[in-house]
C-alpha cells in the first residue's frame, strides 16, 4: 500500500510541475507578444505582487520594483520640461567651452558655472525620477530616492544580490 501511495504522490507532483511549466511558458509567450509599455506594466504588476505577498525578501521586492521603475523613468525623463531645459543649457555651455565627449582634461578643473549647471541637471533628473515613482504609487521609494539615497541604494543592492549575487559596479548606480 505504501508503494502505491508514493507512486500516486509522485505522479501527482509531476503532473502539477508540468501544468506549472505550461502556465509559465504560456505567460512568457504572451509577454513576448506585448509591446514594451504593456510588458513593463505586466512586469510591474508581477513584481509588486511578489513584493507585497512576501514571495521574496523585502529588499528583493524593493529591487524588482525599483529596477523596473527606474528604467521606465529613465526612458521618459526627457519629457520633463526642467530636465529638457537644463540639458539644452548644458549642451550650449559645453559647446561654448569646446568640450567634447571625452570631458574635461584631468589636469584642468572644470569651470564653476559648468559644475553648477551639471548639479542642477542631476537634481532635476532625480526629482523627475521621484515624480515618476510617485505617479506609480511608490511614495516611500520616491522619498528614499530624494532624501536618503544611501538607504535607497542599500535596499536596491541587497535586493539585487538576492537575485544576482555579485556586487554592482558603482558606475551602474544612479
Same domain, yes or no: 77 and 19 = no
Same domain, yes or no: 84 and 142 = yes
Contact call for residues 59 and 162 (beta carbons, < 8 A): yes
Same domain, yes or no: 53 and 21 = no
- Position 12 scores a pLDDT of 81
Same domain, yes or no: 66 and 11 = no
Same domain, yes or no: 28 and 78 = no
Q: Domain containing 118: what range?
A: 34-172
C-alpha cell at 6: 508514493
Contact call for residues 69 and 132 (beta carbons, < 8 A): yes
> How far apart (Å, rounded) are the C-alpha atoms in residues 38 and 44?
10
Judged against a pLDDT cut of 60, whether residue 74 lies above it is answered with yes
Task: Find the helix or strand (DSSP H, E) in which 6 lies.
Answer: helix 2-33
Q: How many domains does the chain have?
A: 2
More confident residue, 31 or 46: 46
Q: What is the CA radius of gyration of the chain?
A: 23
Same domain, yes or no: 53 and 76 = yes
Same domain, yes or no: 17 and 68 = no
Same domain, yes or no: 43 and 70 = yes
Judged against a pLDDT cut of 80, whether residue 114 lies above it is answered with yes
- How big is the CA angle at 140 (ends 130 and 161), to the nearest 5 degrees? 90
Same domain, yes or no: 15 and 92 = no
More confident residue, 37 or 109: 109
Report the pLDDT averaged over residues 12-37. Answer: 66
Amino acid at each position: 500500500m505504501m508503494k502505491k501511495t508514493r507512486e500516486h504522490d509522485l505522479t501527482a507532483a509531476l503532473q502539477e510541475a508540468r501544468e506549472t511549466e505550461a502556465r509559465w511558458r504560456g505567460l512568457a509567450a504572451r509577454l513576448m507578444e506585448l509591446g514594451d509599455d504593456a510588458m513593463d506594466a505586466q512586469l510591474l504588476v508581477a513584481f509588486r505582487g511578489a513584493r507585497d505577498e512576501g514571495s521574496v525578501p523585502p529588499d528583493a521586492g524593493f529591487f524588482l520594483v525599483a529596477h523596473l521603475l527606474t528604467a521606465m523613468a529613465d526612458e521618459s525623463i526627457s519629457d520633463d520640461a526642467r530636465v529638457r531645459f537644463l540639458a539644452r543649457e548644458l549642451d550650449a555651455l559645453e559647446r561654448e567651452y569646446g568640450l567634447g565627449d571625452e570631458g574635461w582634461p584631468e589636469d584642468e578643473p572644470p569651470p564653476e558655472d559648468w559644475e553648477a549647471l551639471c548639479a542642477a541637471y542631476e537634481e532635476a533628473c532625480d526629482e523627475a525620477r521621484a515624480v515618476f515613482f510617485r505617479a506609480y504609487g511608490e511614495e516611500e521609494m520616491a522619498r528614499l530616492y530624494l532624501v536618503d539615497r544611501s538607504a535607497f541604494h542599500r535596499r536596491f543592492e541587497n535586493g539585487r544580490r538576492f537575485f544576482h549575487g555579485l556586487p554592482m559596479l558603482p558606475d551602474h548606480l544612479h
